[in-house]
């Protein structure tokens, strides 16, 4: 049995889909469906069961699943970078992750979890090293603090623990995320509604739409999770990005090229994001490649095309 927490969410539901496609017959989704719109992400997936995250934790710690779990892939979290309720964020992202970790260590269950490039925040270097970790919001801090906690245990662990620092992931099954959905998703909707794409004007020394991010397609980060599942002797915290920063203009132009028409309009940079915005991210894949990982990551031009093909299908 493979457990995917956050399995009705964006990355989680795509991971469930790939696990099923890979032949995993018993995949259990754990989530919290206060936002019932997320059901569409798993409605087409033949999962073995669905459990609310609190019920799952009670049953897990009560021994209901002893001996029956092949791996836990923990994707569940509050991922809103604009959420400033620190108590909620730490309870949801840090405390819950700790409880899962200790259970997996005790039962020797492989534990793969979602970290985030938000841990780097204001940094200009993106190798997995404490010197580079400067989160700009409490979401990034919650992810960083759990990574720190893992670092104190992973070297002495006798079972697999892998944290994946997702960069800017985009792709199918993210429509429920609203404002937190990827720019590729929003650009497509803007083109459909208005025939134009709206990008921020320049900031932090970057020109209009020239801010750089490491945009990574969701199927590729899911393939990375599956690769680690096959490498049970590899543990650690690794970046999950393409290793190639591209501009927001690149994403906009890829969407415009797919539609065959459209224009770009630049809008003022929001004042509430000043000092809390990453204008540049680029995954350093040195540590990942040193594990022998050969998963390839598509560039924006291919990924956006694949994404919009899927949305239009």
Phi, psi dihedrals of residue 197, rounded to the nearest 5°: -110, 135
Total count of residues recorded for the chain: 313
Strands (E) located in the chain: 2-5, 27-31, 49-52, 71-74, 111-116, 161-166, 168-170, 196-200, 212-213, 215-217, 236-240, 246-247, 263-267
Which residues face 280 on adjacent strands? 212
Q: Return all residues near 176 (Cβ < 8 A) that are at least 6 apart.
A: 9, 10, 35, 37, 38, 40, 41
Write the CB contacts of 25 (distance below 8 Å, at least 6 apart in sequence): 48
Q: Closest Cα to residue 188, out of 312, 8, 39?
A: 312
Placement of tokens 């989704």 in the chain: 29
- Give just the sign of the alpha carbon dihedral 57, 63, 68, 72: positive
- Beta bridge partners, 240, equal 166
Q: Residue 239: name the closest of 228, 250, 249, 254 by CA.
A: 228
Active-site residues: which are they?
139, 177
Nearest to 248 by CA among 283, 280, 204: 280
Q: Parallel, antiparallel, or unpaired for β 161-166 and 111-116?
A: parallel
Q: Are 169 and 221 in contact (CB under 8 A)?
A: yes
Which uninterrupted H or E stretch holds 116?
strand 111-116
Both structure tokens of 94: 């840090």
Give CA–CA dist 228/218, Å, rounded.
Answer: 16
């Amino acid at each position: 049995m493979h457990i995917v927490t956050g399995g009705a969410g964006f990355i989680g539901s795509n991971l469930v889909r790939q696990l099923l496609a890979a032949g995993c017959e018993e995949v259990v989704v754990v989530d919290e469906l206060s936002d019932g719109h997320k059901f569409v992400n798993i409605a087409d997936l033949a999962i073995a069961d669905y459990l609310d995250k609190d019920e799952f934790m009670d049953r897990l710690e009560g021994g209901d699943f002893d001996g029956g779990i092949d791996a836990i892939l923990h994707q569940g979290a509050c991922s809103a970078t604009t959420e400033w309720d620190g108590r909620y964020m730490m309870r949801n992202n840090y405390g819950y992750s700790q409880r899962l970790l200790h259970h997996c260590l005790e039962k020797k269950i492989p534990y793969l979890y979602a970290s985030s490039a938000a841990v780097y925040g204001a940094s200009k270097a993106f190798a997995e090293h404490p010197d580079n970790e400067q989160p700009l919001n409490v979401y990034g801090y919650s992810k960083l603090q759990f990574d720190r906690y893992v670092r104190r245990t992973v070297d002495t662990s006798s079972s697999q623990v892998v944290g994946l620092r997702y960069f800017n992931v985009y792709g199918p099954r993210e429509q429920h995320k609203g404002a937190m959905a990827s720019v590729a998703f929003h650009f497509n909707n803007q083109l459909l509604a208005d025939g134009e794409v709206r990008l921020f004007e320049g900031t932090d020394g970057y020109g209009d739409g020239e801010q750089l991010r490491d945009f990574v397609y969701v199927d590729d980060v899911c393939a990375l999770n599956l690769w680690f599942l096959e490498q049970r002797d590899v543990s650690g915290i690794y970046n999950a990005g393409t290793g190639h920063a591209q501009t927001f203009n690149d994403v906009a132009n890829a969407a415009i090229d797919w539609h065959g028409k459209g224009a770009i309009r630049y809008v003022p940079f929001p004042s509430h994001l000043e000092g809390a915005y990453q204008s540049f991210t680029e995954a350093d894949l040195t540590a990942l490649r040193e594990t022998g990982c050969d998963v390839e990551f598509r560039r924006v031009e291919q990924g956006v095309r694949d994404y919009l093909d899927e949305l239009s299908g």
